[in-house]
Amino acid sequence: MSKIAGIAAAALIASAGLALAQDAENIKADHEEGGRWFTVDDIPTFRVTEDGTVDYPVYNGYRRYHSECHVCHGPDGEGSSYAPALKNSAVNLDYGTFVSIVAGGKQEVNNAQNQVMPAFGDNANVMCFIDDIYVYLKARGTDAIPRGRPAKKDPKTEQIREDENACLG
pLDDT digits (tens, 9 = 90+) for 79-103: 888 788 888 888 888 999 999 999 9
List the domain boundaries for the chain: 3-168
- Report the predicted TM-score, pTM, of the whole model to 2 decimal places: 0.84
> By CB neighbour count within 10 A (0-12 exposed, 13-18 middle, 19+ buried), where does 140 fall?
buried
Question: Tens digits of per-residue pLDDT, 109-167?
Answer: 777 767 789 999 999 999 999 999 999 999 999 999 999 999 999 999 999 999 999 99
Mean pLDDT (whole number) for 34-40: 96
**Phi, psi angle pair for 123, to nearest 5°:** -95, 105
Tell me, what's the pLDDT at 14?
Answer: 44
Mean pLDDT (whole number) for 32-48: 96
Which segments of the chain are extended strands (E)?
31-33, 36-38, 44-45, 106-109, 114-117
